[in-house]
Amino acid sequence: MAPVGIVGLGSHVPPRTMTNRDWSELVETSDEWITTKTGIKERRIAEPGTCTSDLAAEASRQAIDEAGLKPSDIDLLILATSSPDVPLSSTAGITQHKLGCDNAAAFDINAVCAGWVHALDVGSRFAGTPGYENVLVVGSEVYSRILNWEDRSTCVLFGDGAGAAVLAESVDGSGILGSWMMSDGSGSGVIEIPAGGVRTPIPSSGFSEGDQYFQMDGRAVWDFAVEAFPQAVRGVLERIGRDLSEVDLIVPHQANLRIVEAGMENLGLPMEKTFTNLQRYGNTAGASVPIALREAVDSGALEKGDLVITAAFGGGLAWGANAFVW
CB 323 within 8 Å of CB 178:
yes
Q: Are residues 183 and 151 in the same domain?
A: no
Parent domain of 85 = 4-172
Q: How many domains does the chain have?
A: 2
Query: What does the pLDDT read at residue 121?
Result: 98
Sheet of 76-80, strand order? 4-12, 161-169, 135-141, 76-80, 105-109
CB 284 within 8 Å of CB 160:
yes
Looking at 147, 172, 197, the residue that finishes a domain is: 172
Mean per-residue pLDDT pooled into runs of 10, the chain (326 residues): 91 98 96 97 98 98 98 98 97 98 98 98 97 98 97 96 97 92 98 95 93 96 98 98 98 98 98 98 98 98 96 98 97
Query: What does the pLDDT read at residue 116?
Result: 98
Q: Are residues 155 and 200 in the same domain?
A: no
Q: Are residues 22 and 145 in the same domain?
A: yes
Query: What does the pLDDT read at residue 2?
Result: 75
Query: What does the pLDDT read at residue 1?
Result: 64
Looking at 117, 141, 172, the residue that finishes a domain is: 172
Looking at 111, 144, 172, the residue that finishes a domain is: 172
Q: Are residues 246 and 158 in the same domain?
A: no
The CA-atom distances, in angstroms, between 267 and each of 153, 202, 226, 246 are 28, 44, 11, 13
Q: Are residues 16 and 70 in the same domain?
A: yes
CB 85 within 8 Å of CB 52:
yes
Q: Are residues 9 and 114 in the same domain?
A: yes
Active site residues: 113, 253, 283
**pTM of the complete model:** 0.97
